[in-house]
Amino acid sequence: MAERYYVVREDLLPEGILKTEQAKELLRRGEAATIHEAAERVGLSRSAFYKYKDGVYLLEQTNRERIVTLSTDLEHRSGVLSKVLGTLASSEGNVLTIHQSIPLQGMANVVVSLDTSNMAGTLTELSDRLRNIDGVKRVAIIGRS
């Protein structure tokens, strides 16, 4: 299933999500040195911070997000990784790093860090295009910076 994104008015969000963004802001501004300190200052558990941290962004920050980390599970067949990389290139994504695990039981995990600053389309569209490649079994966005 494709990842879906929503724009939600702040007053409708649960307290844990709001406090996560507040803690991230303290860390960005250097007003808290550690996640523990930032979470404590806003009254949030560290487990809640870690639960939401990679999925909560202010709308104005999303335009500045440039590096995305994708995790994919690929069948161990000739040409599958090449098609994935070709799809990333045709979307104007610039591959920064690639890490491929040793294939086990015919599957390999490939993690790609991608500069998306010039990318055509959305991450959801890119994920869908990757999922449609024969041999791609899973695609997940696991990080942004």
As for how many domains the chain has, the answer is 2
Domain coverage including residue 56: 10-62
List CB contacts of 55: < 8 A, sequence separation 6 or more: none
| Amino acid letter, 142 | I
Please report the pLDDT score of residue 4 as a whole number. 74
Task: Name the token pair of 130.
Answer: 């990757």
Predicted TM-score of the model (pTM): 0.57
Cα–chain center distance at 65: 10
Statement to judge: residues 140 and 71 lie in one domain: yes
Statement to judge: residues 93 and 53 lie in one domain: no
| Structure confidence at residue 54 as a pLDDT band (50, 70, 90) | confident
Final residue of a structural domain among 23, 41, 62: 62
**In this structure, are residues 91 and 129 in contact, taking their beta carbons and an 8 Å threshold?**
yes
Statement to judge: residues 134 and 106 lie in one domain: yes
Question: Tens of pLDDT along 13-45?
Answer: 999 999 999 998 888 888 998 999 999 999 999
Final residue of a structural domain among 46, 62, 78: 62
**In this structure, are residues 7 and 59 in contact, taking their beta carbons and an 8 Å threshold?**
yes
Statement to judge: residues 83 and 112 lie in one domain: yes
Statement to judge: residues 30 and 75 lie in one domain: no
Answer yes or no: is 94 within a domain.
yes
Residue 24 backbone phi and psi in degrees, to 5: -60, -35
